Amino acid sequence: MNETYLSDLQLGARYSVNRITIWRWHRTNEQFPRAVTLSPGCTRWRLSEIEAWETAKVVAT
């Protein structure tokens, strides 16, 4: 199965926040999915992990 990766800009658009907010969540929220470095200067998030995080947040509410 091929994995889809999202950039900080794509995540920002997904949640209607600035890309800096995505990095703050990454730094301060242990439940937020960890970014992966695909190559130097290319850091992304796995869509499958983002969707699992979203589902966990809905279930917890």
Query: What is the residue extent of each domain of the chain?
Result: 5-60
Looking at the chain, the whole-number percentage of residues with pLDDT higher than 70 is 97
Map residue 4 onto helix, strand or coil: coil
pTM: 0.88
Q: What pLDDT is attached to residue 1?
A: 66
Asked whether the predicted pLDDT for residue 28 surpasses 70, the reply is yes
Give dist(CA 35, CA 46) in Å, integer: 8
Q: What pLDDT is attached to residue 11?
A: 97
As beta bridge partners, residue 10 has none
CA dihedral 16, 44, 26, 34 (to 10 degrees): 130
Work out the pLDDT band at 57, boundaries 50, 70, 90: confident
Is-contact 7 13, C-beta < 8 A?
Answer: no
Which is more confident, 28 or 61? Answer: 28
